[in-house]
Amino acid sequence: MKAWENELKRRKNATPSISYQENWEKMQESNIFPNDLLLTFWQSNVPGSNAPESMIVGAVQSVENMGRDVSKAEILLEQGFHYLSSDDFIALKALTSEIFYLLDNSPIIENHRFHHYLRPLKWEEISKFFPTNKFNLSNKIDIKDKIHGGWLGQLAGGSMGTKFEGYTHDALEKVFGEQLGKYVGEVSTLNDDVTYEIIFLKTCEEKKKDISSMDVAKNWISYIPFGWSAELMALDNIKRGIFPPDSGYFYNPFQEWIGAQMRCMVQGLLSPGDPYKAAKLAFIDSQVSHSGNGIYGGIHAAVLTSLAFVFNDPKKIIKESLQYIPQNTEFSRIVSDVIKYCQETSDWLNVLRKVEENFKTYNWIHLYPNTASVITSLWFGEGDFDKSMKIVSSFGYDVDCNAGEIGTILGVIYGQQNFPNYWSIPLNNNLETYLPFFQKIKISDLADWTYELVGII
């Protein structure tokens, strides 16, 4: 049926009523820019740690990191915080929209270092020099056991790290001391990070080898109730019919934050010993909400996880992963620099201090300082789960995401059979999410589901 036919049919079948009373109350109750969303942009606290965060400040910060002049937006920030302090939400809404407009139209800073690097966006360009070979895994390796270990590691690391995210090392050390790297308070697997991985598994189950970014995006908008930073912008784009790759960068100042790296370990679990496949699946997922270096971060997390099925030495895994980072990109330089920092000292704290200084202009949720945390923790953790968790929690930044990635990699190396009981038992074999179709599942069942999909995609 044509659209005009549909409309005409509805109108012809409609019968007016003399007794009908006007009903505008529902319209008055609706709000296209609710105050709680407005406050989320300007001043909020991280649910797990209570760390302060301002997404709008991070947006301005991030666009400047991408080589743009944000001076006009920075001026409006000061006005915005004045409106916020006086509860002038009407003025604040208009000003918030204006800031996003200014960011999307901010002039390029010609000599900014961001523009000195390549930034391929298409898979063919990104993967041009990636090795395509798949490693032959030993018959002695129990892939299912390693996948189970990977999930345990991810959920243990994420649960542990939630308490510490968003603070500096010095603040964490002062308050928590010897508790860093351990569960503090109630152990919960409920957070937003794993939600996207569950959606990817569901999409794989539905589409198998034909899975596309469009498929993932449609399941996002169907099932995910809310998002943060890049994912929030992507969901808003998808809602309006703006699909990948556009959804990852259109009016999305957070496109190079940690979100893709946070959630792309699952593609590695689905690709044991096949880092090229892991990278491609991660690309499919990452470009839903990210672009450029943000995508490369997602690919890197997947590749590290895939390589953990092959090598037991985290340093070896890190070095092998370099082949799957697009050359002459800013992300490749960042990773190389951090590895160099690690090689030049015997103390991870020295690396941390360099990271704090060299990445001070980046938000704590940005990809770069968090990649540095992951690499440093794996490097100096030397395959020891406890030691690695101590380092990553002490590093600060987005600890639950970083600990989840490290935990996945080490969990694969360990396998479920060798995974430390004092880390797994508190999880009670349960994963909780806020997905309507997947509110609770046994971790063992999640591992089984992932294993079943390995041969399908």
The answer to the question of residue 7 being in a domain is no
Distance (Å, rounded) from C-alpha 37 to C-alpha 43?
10
Q: Are 104 and 236 members of one domain?
A: no
Residue with tokens 């391929």: 120
Whether residue 273 contacts residue 308, with contact meaning beta carbons closer than 8 Å, is answered with: no
For the chain, how many structural domains are there in total? 2
Q: How does DSSP assign 98-167, residue by residue?
A: HHHHHHHTPPB-TT-GGGGSB---SHHHHTTT---------TT--HHHHHHHHHHHHHHHHHHHGGGTTS
Which residues in 249-280 are b (16+ Cβ under 10 Å) and which e?
A: bbbbbbbbbbbbbbbbbbbbbbbbbbbbbbbb
Q: Are 89 and 166 members of one domain?
A: no
Q: Which of 328, 326, 350 is nearest to 338 (CA)?
A: 350
Q: Are 137 and 226 members of one domain?
A: yes
CATH of the domain at 218: 1.10.4080.10
The residue from 71, 93, 112 where one domain ends is 112
The β-bridge relationship of strands 430-432 and 440-442 is: antiparallel
Distance (Å, rounded) from C-alpha 233 to C-alpha 224?
13
Q: Are 328 and 415 members of one domain?
A: yes
Distance (Å, rounded) from C-alpha 292 to C-alpha 118?
9
| Number of helical (H) and strand (E) elements in the chain, helices listed first | 25, 4
Q: Are 173 and 225 members of one domain?
A: yes
Report the residue count for the chain: 457
Please give the structure tokens belonging to residue 209: 């080898």
Q: Are 76 and 137 members of one domain?
A: no
Q: Which amino acid is at 336?
A: S
Q: Are 88 and 153 members of one domain?
A: no
Give the residue numbers spanning the domain of 39: 35-112
What's the half-sphere exposure (Cβ side, CA atoms, 13 Å) at 453? 26
Binding-site positions for Mg(2+) read: 192-193, 398, 400
The residue from 112, 142, 177 where one domain ends is 112
Binding-site positions read: 192-193, 398, 400
pLDDT of residue 27: 58
The answer to the question of residue 237 being in a domain is yes
Question: Which residue pairs from 112-116 have beta carbons closer than 8 angstroms and sit at least 24 positions apart in sequence?
Answer: 112/67, 112/68, 113/67, 113/330, 114/65, 114/66, 114/67, 114/330, 115/67
Distance (Å, rounded) from C-alpha 305 to C-alpha 270?
9
Q: Are 266 and 295 members of one domain?
A: yes
Distance (Å, rounded) from C-alpha 93 to C-alpha 80?
9
The answer to the question of residue 97 being in a domain is yes
Q: What are phi and psi of 183, to 5 degrees?
A: -65, 135
Q: Which of 330, 420, 329, 334 is nearest to 375 (CA)?
A: 334
Cα 98 to chain centroid distance, Å, stands at: 27
Distance (Å, rounded) from C-alpha 106 to C-alpha 103?
5
Q: Are 236 and 198 members of one domain?
A: yes
- Cis, peptide link before residue 275, omega less than 30° from 0: no
pLDDT of residue 24: 67
Distance (Å, rounded) from C-alpha 118 to C-alpha 379?
27
Q: Are 300 and 392 members of one domain?
A: yes
The residue from 112, 138, 154 where one domain ends is 112
The answer to the question of residue 149 being in a domain is yes
Q: Are 94 and 165 members of one domain?
A: no
Q: Which amino acid is at 215?
A: D
Give, for all 457 residues of the chain, the pLDDT tens digit: 999 999 999 999 999 988 877 776 665 566 889 999 999 999 999 988 999 999 999 999 999 999 999 999 999 999 999 999 999 999 999 999 999 999 999 999 999 999 999 999 999 999 999 999 999 998 878 999 999 999 999 999 999 999 999 999 999 999 999 999 999 999 999 887 899 999 999 999 999 999 999 999 999 999 999 999 999 999 999 999 999 999 999 999 999 999 999 999 999 999 999 999 999 999 999 999 999 999 999 999 999 999 999 999 999 999 999 999 999 999 999 999 999 999 999 999 999 999 999 999 999 999 999 999 999 999 999 999 999 999 999 999 999 999 999 999 999 999 999 999 999 999 999 999 988 888 899 999 999 999 999 989 8
The answer to the question of residue 19 being in a domain is no
The answer to the question of residue 251 being in a domain is yes
Q: Are 140 and 174 members of one domain?
A: yes
Q: Which amino acid is at 247?
A: S
